[in-house]
Amino acid sequence: MGEGVPREDLATGEGAETWGWGGGGLPPEEELESTYGAPVATGKFVWVANPTSGRVAYINAATLEINVVEAGNAPTVVAAVPDPADDVAIVLNVLSNDATLFRAKTSEVSALQFDVPSGGNAWAISADGHFAIAWTNSKLIKEADPIDGFQNLTVIDLTASENPSHVLTVGYRPVTIGFDAESKKAFAVSQDGITVIGLDQPAPSVIKNIKLGGGPSTEAVGQDVAITPDGAYALVRSEGSPNIGVFSLETAEKAEVTLSAPVTDLDLSPDGKVGVAVVRDTGETVLLPIPEIFTDPAGFATIPIAGVTVGSASLAKTSPLAFLYTNAVPSPILTSIDTSDAAKAPVFYQLWAPIQSVFPTNDASHAVVIHSTADVPNSTYPAAMSVLPVAADLPAKLQGLDGPVVSVAISPQGHRAIVATGDEQLPQYRLYVAAMPSLEVTQINLASEPIAAGIVAQADRGYVAQKHPDGRITFVDFKSGEVRTLTGFELGSQVVDGSGE
């Protein structure tokens, strides 16, 4: 729950002298994914691994109490495991090739150990918390040998009392792992296509591999793959291509949807009912009804976006609104469309700096827009943000930022957004807290470089983890505005107060 969006969609506009609405010959839309050795939040705890000490610190975000538990050798990657009752997290111990599952009930934490023979550097967790998959994201490995395919992954049945770990082989260099909503299948998107893993079997196993390309090369590089939550279909966009591949993950059959120009972005609505494709060169946004588009590839609706360049889409979790923008050229105009009704006219929002990325609240009543300022004449700010009251149709609040944006998180309730800024090149470390609907933005100085921001919804606090040899995290209480920084997680566990003596 509540992890922030670290640098996701934070791209830099470049290549044009003026902000504009341009057309062909533009660079691709940038979709930057980054993963940090960052903490994760469960219901009320924030979990942080310390590879050096072999321990994991968990911080009660409501009381700021820090505890430390032993993990394996070099616990590194932590993931939250959904659970209806407890706070559960799993950590990958990279040197001992195992994982530790922590389950917190009040202050008591139990630990379970699982083998992870494949090793890895990333987790994928099923929505029901039943399965965890440890895999290797080659993007996180510098100068990886081309022969290293990182094809092994370990599927862990977190509920199994015997033989919970299963090593499987998927395609060459997987780039993402996902599950269907019922945790019956898992999907590994790799350079070989989509490897389908059956989970509703006595032992997890690979069912099939679906090639994505039609030619001799099946490389998934440059491809944007979205899998519907029910695991029935995969939508595939290839950079520079006007075609969208719609694959049945059941039959491996493919339907091809051809649009008017190369598709610059493709996203799925959270319910998986609509695919949103953005065609920048022709100024169109296309709504692909799912599953109908599979049997009727021409049955899509087109929403023309006149006079504004749009190349990327950002969708809200519980609203049919989609926000369109471009970061390929400096453009300060944000557009919204209603994905549930193609007949509705787009709505335009005038902002005052080029848009880099957009983060809507779950209900899309507000959106936090990150701006690039490189092309803003006479601006001394390295970045900026706007808080846009979408539902109220009021002017956006523009806020200059003292450093580049590192991470953005928005509370599930949509009442606060936090933006962490500053890096080694521009060490103005700040946390900006935007209140909605008041649009008040509070600036908090940070003691060191931020790594990732997040929200602990149950505690109604935001947090930003920062670089520090002993671990550092700053919490902001959204109710009181109180700021507390905890530095030295191991030290925090070194308090002995006579409890139970």
Partner 1 sequence: MRRPTIAALLLTTCIAGCGDRAEVWDGPPPNTDLPIYGMRSTIAFLDNEAERVVFATPETVGEMSFAEVTTGRGYQTSALSSDRQKLVTLTAGDVPRRKAEDQAPALRIFDTAASPPTQTVFELADALSGLALDPQMEFGVVYPRGASVAFVQNPNELVLVRLNEPPSETNPLPATIRSYGGRPEGFTFTDELLLPGGARRLLVVRTDRDVALIDLNQPEKPEITVKLTTGATQLVPAGIAASDGDPEDENDARVAVRLANDNSVILLDLLPTPADKVDTSPHSFSPVPNIVDVGGVPSDITFAKTDGGLRLLALVPNEKALKLVDPATGVATSVALGAPFEKMSLVTNIVGPTDAGSDVALLWSANVAGVAFVALGSTIGTPYKSVEVRPVDFPAYAVLDVPAPNNHLKILMGNQLSILDLLSRTITPFVTPQNPDAFVSNDGQRLWISASGNDFAKVDLTTKHPQNYFLNQNIGEAMEVERADGGLSFITIRRQGALSLSMFDALAPSLEQNTEYFGILYGDYSQEGEQ
Which of residues 337 and 465 has its CB atom nearest to partner 1 in the complex?
465
The tokens for 399 are 């806020």
Which of residues 13 and 471 has its CB atom nearest to partner 1 in the complex?
471
Which of residues 256 and 440 has its CB atom nearest to partner 1 in the complex?
440
Shortest spacing between CB 472 and partner 1, in angstroms? 7
**Sites of contact with partner 1 (CB under 8 A):** 53, 60, 62-66, 106-107, 444-447, 468, 470, 472, 474, 482-488, 490-492, 494-501
Shortest spacing between CB 111 and partner 1, in angstroms? 18
Which of residues 318 and 428 has its CB atom nearest to partner 1 in the complex?
428
b/e burial code for range 26-55 (CB count within 10 A of at least 16 → b): beebbeeeeeebbbbbbbbbbbbbbbebbb
Shortest spacing between CB 487 and partner 1, in angstroms? 4
CA distance 456 to 459: 6
Which of residues 55 and 173 has its CB atom nearest to partner 1 in the complex?
55
Shortest spacing between CB 491 and partner 1, in angstroms? 5
Listed in sequence order, the residues at least 6 apart from 314 whose beta carbon sits closer than 8 Å to its beta carbon are 9, 267, 322, 323, 324, 325, 357, 358, 359, 360, 367
Between the CA of residue 250 and those of 210, 228, 267, 475, what are the distances in Å?
A: 10, 12, 21, 45
Listed in sequence order, the residues at least 6 apart from 251 whose beta carbon sits closer than 8 Å to its beta carbon are none
Give, in degrees to the nearest 5, the angle at Cα 226 between 223 and 228: 160
Which of residues 436 and 446 has its CB atom nearest to partner 1 in the complex?
446
Which of residues 143 and 497 has its CB atom nearest to partner 1 in the complex?
497
Residues 456, 46: contact at Cβ < 8 Å?
yes
Shortest spacing between CB 90 and partner 1, in angstroms? 22
> Given strand 461-466, what is the order of strands in its sheet?
450-456, 461-466, 472-477, 483-487
Return the residue matching tokens 């521009």: 426
Shortest spacing between CB 501 and partner 1, in angstroms? 6
Shortest spacing between CB 452 and partner 1, in angstroms? 17
